[in-house]
Amino acid sequence: MIVKIDNLSHDLKGISRVNGKVTFIDNALPGEVVDIKLLEEKKCFNKGKVISYIEKSKDRIENICPYFGGCGGCSFSGIIEYKKNIFRDIFKRYANMDITPDVIYSDNIYGYRNKISMKINNGKLSLVEENSTELVDIDKCLLCNDKINMVIEKLTSVNLNGLKEVIIRGADSIMVILKGEYDYDIIIKLLEGYVDSIIYNGNCIYGDEYIICNIDKYRYAIYPESFFQVNTLMISKLYDKVKEYAGKGDKLLDLYCGAGTIGIYLADNFNKIRGIEINKDAIKGANLNKKINGIKNISFELGNANNIKIEEDTVVVDPPRSGLDDKTRNIIINSNVKKLVYVSCNPITFARDINIFKDKYDIKSVTLFDNFPNTIHMESVCLLERR
């Protein structure tokens, strides 16, 4: 059926009405006329998929990937201004605040990802299809950097049956993580000299146990299960903003510190820094990163953010998509934290948390980063100061 898109939802899906019922359509922009197929009809809403574009928006960024429309990796094709407007709407709705973020643009809309997780489908590498659990075989991903695509190309020459998942992490060095059952000597022979590390079901079977990513003057080691910002090209822009917002001071707490990357990046500006993180691999990386970068004024603790005592004046929080839990928010609110820098990858939980902090804190500045071009995702940073 042919519909016109009226608006965008908070998760950047096109909204139209089919027989009076709201219908959410992936990869459709306001003003566009599209031929759609209904995928799901629920009591209160439908979900649809674009079959063809009849009238395209001038704000559409044409996607050049051969798998576009099949693979779910590229989920949004509009200009960043749409994300800025949605961000504003979300803050209005969840925090009752008028916030217009500054935007830091990305120079590249392809080739920015340093990590890809692929399933194995009939022995081939595949990604999950848009709006479904079906798999689409791929032999490249344009969102990923060249190093990752070189490894994908190599791996497509063998039958990967037996493996369940293959993850490739590619920065200054490159790691392949294999999960499932496989005669891994075949992969070692295939990738020898091309990659720096191969991990098979949690064990390092070739090369190093971690990869390296150089950001600004810092050298970061990343272990297989540790979080690392996925857009390598935007990391220094993001961390520079965190550094600017945090300013200079005596003690800094880097909560949800991952491999210690933010604390280390800010180490010149504080006398003492403490990082807290729940993932063991990440803490191992954080301690190695402290050593590699010769940072003396930082320490890392393995622990849960919701079970700490805060003695620092300045805190950076960078939680997962679920945002802060009640206990962690209360610990911050009942502490003497004067400056809070909140890094978020989910504007809805971000706005929900800011709505609670706003009784005690003033929102000084908010910046949105175009860290995930061609997708619905966004990254943002906010500076809050205690009133």
Distance CA 340, CA 357 (A): 10
Whose Cβ is closer to ligand SAM: residue 139's or residue 225's? Answer: 225
Distance CA 363, CA 345 (A): 18
Residues 310-329 that bind ligand SAM (CB under 6 A): 318-320
| Shortest Å distance, C-beta 326 to ligand SAM | 12
Our CB check for ligand SAM shows the closer of 149 and 231 to be: 231
The phi-psi region of residue 46 (left if phi > 0; otherwise alpha if psi is between -120 and 50; otherwise beta) is: beta
Find, among 260, 295, 292, the residue nearest to 276 by Cα.
260
Closer residue to ligand SAM, CB minimum distance, 19 or 322: 322
Which residue's CB is nearer to ligand SAM, number 163 or number 381?
381
Report in angstroms the alpha-carbon separations of 222 from 8, 23, 211, 278, 297: 37, 42, 5, 15, 21
**Single-letter amino acid code for the residue at 60:** R
Q: Which of 71, 141, 345, 382 is catalytic?
A: 345
Three-state DSSP class for residue 339? strand
Q: Which stretch of DSSP H or E encloses residue 379? A: strand 379-386
Q: How far is the CB of 292 from ligand SAM (least distance, A)?
A: 16
Does the annotation mark 382 as catalytic? no
In the complex, minimum distance from the CB of residue 305 to ligand SAM, in angstroms, rounded to a whole number: 4
Q: Which residue is nearest to ligand SAM (CB)?
A: 258
Judged by CB under 6 A, the residue of 171, 257, 273, 354 near ligand SAM is 257
Q: Give the nearer residue to ligand SAM in terms of CB position, either 123 or 303.
A: 303
CA angle, 297 then 301 then 307, to 5°: 125
Of 21-29, 194-202, 304-312, 361-369, which segment contacts ligand SAM by CB under 6 A?
A: 304-312
**CA distances (Å), origin 158, targets 51, 118, 153, 174, 263:** 33, 15, 10, 19, 42
**Given the complex with ligand SAM, which of 220 and 357 has the nearer CB atom?**
220
10 Å Cβ neighbour count for 27?
26
Shortest Å distance, C-beta 198 to ligand SAM: 23
- Interface with ligand SAM: number of residues (CB under 6 A): 19
User: Residue 22: how many CA atoms within 13 Å on its side-chain side?
Assistant: 10
> How would you label 236-266 residue by residue, b for 16+ Cβ within 10 Å and e otherwise?
ebbbebbbebbeebebbbbbbbbbbbbbbbb
Build a one-symbol-per-residue string for 279-298: x at contacts with ligand SAM by CB under 6 A, - elsewhere.
x--x----------------
CB of 17: closest distance to ligand SAM in angstroms? Answer: 37
Residue 144 as a binder of ligand SAM (CB under 6 A): the answer is no
213-252: which residues touch ligand SAM (CB under 6 A)?
Answer: 227-229
* Both structure tokens of 196: 């720096």
Q: Which of residues 258-277 bind ligand SAM (CB under 6 A)?
A: 258, 261-262, 276-277
Which residue ranges make up the site for ligand SAM (CB under 6 A)? 227-229, 256-258, 261-262, 276-279, 282, 304-306, 318-320
Residues carrying an active site annotation = 345
